[in-house]
């Protein structure tokens, strides 16, 4: 909060309706602020756009999700209602396809954003909470993906959810109890759809929007982070551009490109609907999770082969947990980059995680 707002400063205002509103809501202060804000420009600037792209895809999800809500009926009717949306309602296939594709693109954009933040060491003081709130948003996005995947209740959705729920089941002591609570009974059923639906359209969006507001407030508060090699340069050699209109226009251009990519994917590769889930029939051949769960799936599979039974599963889950905790706590133990030195150890850690993620995903697809 500034000491004197432009309401008090007797600023000269535009005539007409805009001026009338401006006099009361002080829009001038917002534009003044946006024009004064600067965004650093350097050879890694491209990566600054990925948070905005993730945000745009989230907004697309909100709009297309509300549209799907108009015809979707959770519970016993869910398969039939998704069939109607896909085949009966005008352009229903496009809205559903856009929602599915945008979900996948959103996960991809968030991963790119996360890794670029990691490699630019943007998690350093004072931005630790930006890193943590971002990880919470990424986690929520994966839960969004998992819960939304069940809702059409075709055979893939049914078995993917069954397999996915096997992971929390391996938690010692409380696992089986937790899973029966999540799915509402001893198997995936209409009750599970109803629960996942409530989670997907009410609980997750509420939490997500709250955490997102915190995340964006922090970005605003701290500004864009400089990567270490840029920080080593003397002040006079650093360059920056005004947020408004320069960065804003580029941001908008990125959003348009994203919209074009989404439109092409959604219309040329429409999302399919499989046969209705039938608990008595066997799992379809080649069933596998969505690409963003593929690496975890593959780790479990490999450990399961090396160490048969519950031991392998436990070992796989321990590997994830340790990697996840190390990933989360990086701002606390990466002391090199805190001193504005290029932290090579952190970079190597990031490269190993990224490499393992990509390799395991490819391996997973090759192994189907």
Partner 1 sequence: MKKDSNKVKPEKADGPGGATMGRRGFVKAGIGAMSVCYVGAVAYPVYRYLAAPAKRAEETAKISQIALPMDKLPPAGTALTFMFGSRPALLIHLADGTKVCLDAVCTHLGCTVKFETDLQRIHCACHGGVYDARTGKNVSGPPPKPLKPYKVEFANGQINISRA
Give the torsion sign (CA, 177, 183, 184, 186): negative
How far apart CA 321 and CA 338 sit, in angstroms, is 25
Identify which range of 86-94, 100-108, 126-134, 144-152 contacts partner 1 by CB under 8 A: 86-94
Considering only residues 90, 235, 237, 278, which one is a binding residue for partner 1 as defined by CB under 8 A?
A: 90
Phi and psi angles of residue 82, each rounded to the nearest 5 degrees, phi first: -70, -35
Q: Which is nearer to partner 1, 99 or 127 (CB)?
A: 99
Which lies closer to partner 1 via its Cβ, residue 99 or residue 124? 99
Shortest spacing between CB 64 and partner 1, in angstroms: 9
Nearer to partner 1, 8 or 88 (CB): 88
Site for partner 1 contains 94 (CB under 8 A)? yes
CB of 59 to partner 1, least distance (A): 13
Is residue 92 within the footprint of partner 1 (CB under 8 A)?
A: yes
| Of the candidate residues 202, 213, 253, 256, the single one contacting partner 1 (CB under 8 A) | 256
Residue 254 in contact with partner 1, rule: CB under 8 A? no
- Residue in the structure block whose two tokens are 């945000």: 55
- Cα dihedral: 198, 131, 41, 112 (round 10): -60
State CA 216 to chain mean position distance. 14
Which residues have a Cβ under 8 Å from the Cβ of 236 and sit 6 or more positions away? none
Neighbours of 233 (CB within 10 A): 12
Find, among 75, 72, 273, the residue nearest to 155 by Cα. 273
* Cβ-Cβ contacts under 8 Å for 201 (sequence gap 6 or more): 65, 69
Find the shortest distance in angstroms from Cβ 209 to partner 1.
22
Dist. CA 361–CA 298, nearest whole Å? 7
Q: Is 237 in the site for partner 1 (CB under 8 A)?
A: no
Is the Cα torsion angle 183, 184, 189, 192 positive or negative in sign? Answer: negative
Site for partner 1 contains 91 (CB under 8 A): yes
CB of 92 to partner 1, least distance (A): 6
Task: Based on the shown chain and the rule CB under 8 A, indicate whether residue 67 belongs to the binding site for partner 1.
Answer: yes
CA 349 to CA 258: how far, in whole Å? 30
Judged by CB under 8 A, the number of residues near partner 1 is 12
Q: Which of 358, 333, 328 is nearest to 129 (CA)?
A: 328
**Binding track, positions 263-302, relative to partner 1; x by CB under 8 A:** x---------------------------------------
Which range in 83-91, 127-135, 196-204, 316-324 contacts partner 1 by CB under 8 A? 83-91
As measured in angstroms, the least distance from the Cβ of 116 to partner 1 is: 28
Q: Residue 260 or residue 321: which is nearer to partner 1 going by CB?
A: 260
Cβ distance to partner 1 smaller for residue 92 or 228: 92
Q: How far is the CB of 89 from partner 1 (least distance, A)?
A: 5
Residue 330 DSSP label:
H
Minimal distance in Å, beta carbon 94 to partner 1? 5
- The burial of 96, by beta-carbon neighbours within 10 Å (0-12 exposed, 13-18 middle, 19 or more buried), is given as buried
Positions in the binding site for partner 1 (CB under 8 A): 67, 70, 88-92, 94-95, 256, 259, 263
């Amino acid at each position: 909060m500034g000491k004197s707002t432009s309401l008090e400063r007797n600023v000269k205002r535009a005539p007409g309706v805009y001026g009338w509103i401006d006099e009361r809501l002080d829009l001038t202060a917002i534009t003044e602020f946006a024009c004064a804000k600067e965004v650093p420009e350097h050879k890694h600037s491209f990566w600054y756009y990925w948070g905005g792209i993730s945000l745009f895809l989230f907004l697309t999800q909100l709009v297309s999700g509300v549209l799907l809500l108009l015809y979707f009926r959770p519970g016993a009717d869910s398969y039939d209602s998704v069939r109607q949306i896909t085949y009966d309602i005008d352009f229903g296939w496009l809205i559903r396809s856009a929602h599915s594709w945008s979900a996948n693109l959103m996960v991809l954009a968030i991963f790119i954003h996360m890794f670029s933040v990691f490699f630019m060491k943007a998690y350093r003081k004072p931005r630790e909470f930006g890193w943590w709130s971002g990880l919470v948003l990424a986690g929520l996005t994966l839960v969004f993906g998992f819960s939304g995947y069940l809702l059409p209740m075709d055979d893939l959705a049914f078995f993917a959810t069954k397999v996915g729920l096997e992971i929390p089941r391996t938690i010692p002591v409380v696992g089986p109890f937790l899973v029966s609570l999540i799915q509402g009974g001893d198997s995936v059923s209409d009750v599970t759809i109803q629960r996942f639906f409530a989670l997907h359209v009410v609980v997750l969006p509420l939490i997500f929007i709250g955490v997102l507001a915190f995340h964006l407030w922090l970005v605003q508060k701290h500004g864009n982070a400089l990567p270490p090699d840029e920080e080593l340069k003397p002040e006079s050699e650093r360059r920056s551009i005004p947020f408004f209109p320069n960065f804003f226009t580029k941001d908008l251009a990125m959003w348009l490109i994203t919209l074009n990519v989404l439109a092409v994917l959604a219309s040329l590769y429409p999302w399919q609907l499989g046969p209705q889930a039938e608990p008595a029939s066997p799992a379809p051949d080649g069933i596998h999770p969505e690409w963003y769960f593929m690496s975890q799936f593959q780790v479990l599979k490999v450990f399961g082969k090396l160490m048969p039974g519950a031991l392998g599963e436990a070992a796989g889950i321990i590997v994830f947990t340790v990697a996840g905790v190390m990933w989360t706590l990086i701002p606390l133990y990466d002391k090199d980059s805190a001193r504005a030195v290029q932290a090579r150890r952190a970079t190597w850690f990031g490269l190993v995680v990224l490499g393992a993620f990509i390799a395991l995903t490819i391996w997973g697809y090759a192994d189907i």
